[in-house]
Structure 1
């Protein structure tokens, strides 16, 4: 079924490389900090730290989950360390804020990061007041997307009706659980290294190559259907 924005009353957005473009290379800074954390934790060299980091990411959904599983680390300490980065690559996006404000219904952030980091990102983008709620890694009880519990717990806690929700995400593998639970799904195909990993075409209602252009398309469709206030 093609994407139908008129059915949506809850807009759920991933954070990293979704609300801002990969060209900011913000995650490169986080990636480097993760490597430094693992080197310090295990006393290993950068090559081994990189291997461990990516192994845990692929096997557990996030590097954090793997580290908690094998090394019982403190998630708050880890997240504070790896998210201690420079937000200067991000700039205020008033036009994006305007588009988000024009969407009818609730707007939520659904991120494998933590709320403190997400708040810094949204603040740097000028989007601090653009969302009605957030579901982060702490709320997920450290079982990240694409773990089905991350989605089902959010649906229950935030009183979301999946059939009238849409999830927008740059990591294709994170869309399948949302689709299975009844949401519409949008994949932002941004040609990143891991964006198409474990992609399931049947779990994707629409592929978009640019977030702002997709918002423009969506708002125009709602206007044409007479459902935009």
Structure 2
């Protein structure tokens, strides 16, 4: 659905953005670097070779929702130690995006980041993009009590923490399945269809209000109409 086919968005008071593969291109593939470090972390913890470690990591992800959740449940892993380790990656793949900085600055109302990562990592990424001071808050995995998106309770808690009216909020996210709880709360939803979503979006189509291949272009079109 294009901006021109959408209803008036003048009612939006809070603009909420996922971080990874939403505020920067999926082609950066930072998760590949994080994934390597997660496998290495599991290998050191369990004491096994990389092939076994990767199988364990993926099993934890499948059975517990995230690798971290599995590590916490089965090994009592300190989440801050884990997140600090796996997010210790080079960010040279992420480039300054002046057009995105400008577009977000032109949005009326509040702006927040809602991420399954942690604040330290998110801030580093935002600084690289040029968005280091563009957001009121970063609601991260620690604030979610380690219950990540798409758990519905995490969305409700985020809205309560920052006094957000879901009916006056828009949530932009590259994973279509993560839009369902937002839509259930009454948010307007934007799916960044940039190839990062591995599953089909058909199941989640009813929860998608807008689709865009590039967030920057979509926002420039939108803010141009708002002007």
Q: Report the TM-score when normalising by structure 2.
A: 0.92
Where in structure 2 are the equivalents of 1:9-88 lying within 5 Å?
A: 9-88=13-92
Who is 1:179 aligned against? 183
2:141 matched to which residue of 1? 137
TM value normalised by structure 1: 0.92
2:172 aligned with 1:165:
no
- In 1, the alpha carbon distance for the partners of 2:148 and 2:202 equals 16
Q: Report the Cα distance in structure 1 between the residues aligned to 2:149 and 2:7, rounded to whole angstroms.
A: 22
Give yes or no for the alignment of 1:210 onto 2:214.
yes
Alignment partner of 2:16: what SS?
A: strand
The alpha carbon displacement at 1:104 in A equals 0.3
Aligned 8 A contact 2:117 2:141 in 1: yes
Q: How many residue pairs get matched?
A: 223
1:217 deviates by 2.1
Whether the 8 Å CA contact 2:26–2:195 is kept in 1: the answer is no
2:156 is the alignment partner of 1:152:
yes
* In 2: Cα distance, 1:172 partner to 1:54 partner: 21
- Separation in 1, partners of 2:186, 2:46: 42
Distance 2:49 2:167 in 1: 48
CA displacement, residues 181-200 of structure 1 (integer Å, 9 cap, x when unaligned): 11011111111253647841
Secondary structure of the 1:119 match is helix
Which consecutive unaligned segments of at least 5 residues does structure 2 have? none
1:6-25 Cα deviation digits (max 9, x unpaired): 22110000000110011112
Rounded to whole Å, the distance in 2 between the matches of 1:24 and 1:49 is 25
Task: Classify 1:213/1:41 alpha carbon distance in 2 versus 1 (closer, same or farther; 3 Å).
Answer: same
Per mean C-alpha deviation after superposition, the further-off stretch among 78-87 and 3-12 is 3-12
Task: Calculate the aligned-residue CA RMSD, in Å.
Answer: 1.7
Structure 2: distance between partners of 1:199 and 1:13:
22
- Inter-partner Cα distance in structure 2 for 1:131 and 1:143: 22
Asked if 1:220 corresponds to 2:219, the answer is no
